[in-house]
Amino acid sequence: MQRFRAAVEARDAAAMEACLADDVVFTSPVAFRPYPGKPITAAILRGVLRVFEDFRYLREINDAGGHDHALLFEATIAGKRLTGCDFLHVNADGLIDDFMVMVRPLSGATALAAAMAEQFERIQREAVEAVAREAR
């Protein structure tokens, strides 16, 4: 998980995307349904980079088998401080195939939901463009 963590901390969207499996499923802390696929997950992560301020990882927890990881973080969104955790599963190739995020407190989750809602048209457009590029 060091590669993904380093990419996030460097705010390197391309390196973050390179850590994702094609069949990754992203589960948002503020959306009801999960988002399947690398194009939408990468676009969501780019959106998060745009809205999180003062982002930093606090702790990393890894299972003995090396497939499950938890990355505890803090960030600010629109003046609201939040704490969250990225729960990641990596496949046999070492790529993230399951990515679930949880955040607290409610005021932080609400600020995140509002900020990401403002980003969502751009996120969808970026995902569609990525799928179109792959199809060529």
Q: pLDDT, tens digit, for every residue of 108-122?
A: 999 999 999 999 999
DSSP label at 93?
Answer: T
pLDDT given at position 32: 86
pLDDT given at position 33: 93
Structure tokens belonging to residue 36: 């399947």
Q: In whole angstroms, give the CA distance from residue 99 to residue 31.
A: 13
Structure tokens belonging to residue 127: 């995902």
Q: Does domain 2-135 have CATH number 3.10.450.50?
A: yes
Q: In whole angstroms, give the CA distance from residue 136 to residue 134.
A: 5
The pTM of the full predicted model, rounded to 2 decimals, is 0.93
